[in-house]
Amino acid sequence: MPSPYRAIFGRPGTKSFSAAGLLGRMPLSMLSIGVVTMVSQLTGRYGLAGALSATLALSAAVLGPQISRLVDRHGQRRVLRPATLVSLAAVAGLLLSAQQRWPDWVLFAFSAGAGCVPSVGSMVRARWAELYRGSPRELHTAYSWESIVDEMCFIVGPILSIGLSTAWFPEAGPLLAGGFLAAGVFWLTAQRATEPVPHRGEQQAGGSALRSRGLQVLVGTFVATGAIFGAIDVVTVAFAEEAGHKTAASLVLAVYALGSCVAGAVFGLLHLKGHPSRRWVIGVCAMAVSMVPLQLVGSLPLLAAALFVAGLSIAPTMVTTMALVEEHVPRSKLTEGMTWTSTGLAVGVALGSSAAGWVVDAAGAERGYLVPGASGVLAALVAFAGYHRLRPRQPAAAAGPVAAGLPEGGPAAAERPDGQPVG
């Protein structure tokens, strides 16, 4: 492991909570694609599969920030365990109703309940922020490491989920995802020493973290970005099935995540200067441009190559987003703020997977890649339109957290306690 990564694990407990976070985040890559694979196998209806995946994502988008807000107020252990139990019960109901061929509305009801799954990635990043507050270099490396962990989940998760559901039985992928969620959350919440201290009074005083105008831009852009991810998942499964190799979809999606993983590993080694808002806009635009080759592929090997290149812009953009969240959200609402970006992605995944499912049913898999292409263009447009809200508002001579010797992205330097920007 390169020295910057080795250095961040010098603090006690860091290896354990990051490992627990890895397990707890596996459902992020397994559950949605597992539902698509399961339902498409059982019914042959990609429209229904995409709609159920969208319902799960939309439910997580609604419930996730509320769970994280409670976490900021009451602590991770007291909130995450009951929320996880509710989600696991809904996943079990979804699998049973699918296996028994119950009416569609029952599947939608359980999909909505499964959205109670907590944002484990936000919980782990909040622990890193607590440990390395005031150390911007270490925090940049820690966020980069967690992006690598995210992509490791997306490399392994789809392979396990699609592979088990196609080779064993249709419900196997989502079932294993539920097991990972239970193990990860209960292991993470057992680690009390690194759990961030709740901010009861401060958290209540300022209202929602989404009052921050900068966070609104990040979330709005991530809705379009999430549509890219959701659409690519659904269309790639359909593309592989049309090519006669449905199980290969998991490998192709793993290559997509591998590109992001490689880029995130390199990005964490860099010591970058300048405000992160510029890097963020460049990253969003790079994601949009990378969708163009997908419109031209005609085989699985070419698709895998195109997705690897597309993945190179993901992790650096996500890491930069976390720095911007820290800058635009008060410390007492940091977990909620991070979860709002995940919520934006979840809403986008819901819209993208649903739209892609209908396009695949109507026009075939190759036409389905028009959905992530259009989503990329929309993401770039939103990022450009809101860029002025993310730029430093103070003169260069006084320039915010870096010039003042505070960590780049320190929330107190950019926001008042009510969540509104200074200046």
CATH of the domain at 85: 1.20.1250.20
414 found inside a domain: no
Structure tokens at 229: 């991810």
Give the span between the Cα atoms of 26 and 253, in whole angstroms: 14
422 found inside a domain: no
**Which range marks the domain in which residue 285 is found?**
3-191+209-392
E strand or H helix at 390: helix 370-390
101 found inside a domain: yes
199 found inside a domain: no
196 found inside a domain: no
Structure tokens at 92: 């079990």
Structure tokens at 30: 């397994």
174 found inside a domain: yes
397 found inside a domain: no
110 found inside a domain: yes
Total number of domains constituting the chain = 1
Give the span between the Cα atoms of 260 and 278, in whole angstroms: 19
Give the span between the Cα atoms of 279 and 22, in whole angstroms: 27
- Residues composing the chain: 423
Per-residue pLDDT of the chain (423 residues; tens, 9 = 90+): 457 888 899 889 999 999 999 999 998 878 888 888 888 888 777 778 878 887 887 888 788 888 988 998 888 999 999 999 999 999 999 999 888 888 889 999 999 998 888 889 889 998 998 888 878 888 888 988 998 888 888 778 877 888 888 888 888 889 999 999 999 999 999 999 998 888 765 545 556 777 788 888 999 999 999 899 889 988 988 888 888 887 788 788 888 888 988 998 888 887 777 788 888 899 999 999 999 999 888 888 899 999 999 999 998 998 888 888 888 888 778 888 888 888 888 788 778 887 888 888 888 888 889 999 999 999 999 999 888 888 765 543 333 333 333 333 333 333 333 333 333
Give the span between the Cα atoms of 29 and 355, in whole angstroms: 19
pTM for this entry: 0.76
